A and B are shown apart, each in its own frame.
Chain A
Amino acid sequence: AQKVTQAQTEISVVEKEDVTLDCVYETRDTTYYLFWYKQPPSGELVFLIRRNSFDEQNEISGRYSWNFQKSTSSFNFTITASQVVDSAVYFCALSGMNSGYSTLTFGKGTMLLVSP
């Protein structure tokens, strides 16, 4: 069975602060993919990143960065210099090899509120 835990239900920051969203996962698959999605108030889930379990290199994309640590089963997401437009619910998700990478298991999401 797969499980994704996002322990932070809601985070509030002031614009320009850095913020880290935590994601811890459980899986018996030896190979898997991890994802982050953003869900703004409009409701559409927006794909942000996919990470293969063999690739533990950290990734940076503009103000976004991701820290994948297999030893602690974590895939954390950091937003640098947050902006009001970053306000959304962020979901971490997992897809394992045994399902042919067909099934996404989502966490419950972290609501990020960025105030001016």
Chain B
Amino acid sequence: EAGVVQSPRYKIIEKKQPVAFWCNPISGHNTLYWYRQNLGQGPELLIRYENEEAVDDSQLPKDRFSAERLKGVDSTLKIQPAELGDSAVYLCASSARDRGSYEQYFGPGTRLTVT
């Protein structure tokens, strides 16, 4: 079974530029998460999708961040415009919560550097 796929793995951009990250969850997983992980810290949730619905986006900085999960499968997270403080690893995870499976499976992440 294929794991969570993310692209790109690395991205370097200048501040004020836009950037987008893509995630394809494990097949059959209805729940998709986006996390941000700062250096030396644990991941922090940005947004959670149940199928195509964003059910928890309370930690998403909505002035510059947006996300979508069309058709309830893959998802895109966008930052526009990027700021220096957005440099972090962006992790995507998925789980089969609708089947009572609460462990989350993570992708390799996208390491964003904003210069």
Q: Which residues of A contact B (CB under 8 A)?
A: 4, 33, 35, 37, 42-47, 50, 91, 93, 95, 100-104, 106-109
**CB distance B107 to A33 under 8 Å?**
no
Q: Which residues of B contact A (CB under 8 A)?
A: 3, 31, 40-45, 48, 55-56, 89, 91, 93, 97, 102-109, 111
Q: In the complex the two chains form, is A47's CB within 8 Å of B102's CB?
A: no
Listed A/B pairs (16) with beta-carbon separation below 8 Å: A35-B103, A42-B108, A43-B89, A44-B3, A45-B106, A47-B104, A47-B106, A50-B102, A93-B42, A95-B102, A102-B31, A103-B45, A104-B43, A106-B43, A106-B44, A108-B42
- In the bound complex, what is the Cα–Cα distance between A109 and B40 (angstroms)? 8
Besides A45-B43, A102-B56, A109-B42, 14 other A-B contacts (C-beta < 8 A) = A43-B89, A43-B111, A44-B3, A44-B106, A45-B91, A50-B103, A91-B42, A91-B43, A93-B42, A102-B48, A103-B56, A106-B42, A106-B43, A108-B40
The one of B104, B109, B111 in contact with A104, judged by C-beta atoms closer than 8 angstroms, is B104
Q: Within the assembled complex, what's the spacing in Å between the Cα atoms of A67 and B105?
A: 23
Q: A95-B102, A101-B97, A101-B102 are in contact. Are A43 and B45 (CB under 8 A)?
A: no
Determine the distance from Cα of A47 to Cα of B109 in the docked complex, in whole angstroms. Answer: 15
CB distance from A86 to the nearest CB of B (A): 19
- Give the chain A neighbours of B107 by CB distance below 8 A: 44
Write out the residue numbers on chain B whose beta carbons fall within 8 Å of the beta carbon of A109: 40-42
Question: What A residues does B109 contact at CB under 8 A?
Answer: 43-44
Quick one: closest B residue to A44, CB to CB? B108
**CB contact under 8 A between A47 and B108, given known A102-B97, A104-B45, A106-B43:** no
Residue on A nearest B55 in the bound complex, by CB: A102
Instruction: Find the B residue at minimum CB distance from A48.
Output: B103
Are A47 and B56 neighbours in the complex by a CB distance under 8 Å? no
A62 to B109, CA, bound (A): 28
Given known contacts A102-B56, A103-B45, is B40 in contact with A47 (CB within 8 Å)?
no
Chain A residues within an 8 Å CB radius of B55: 102
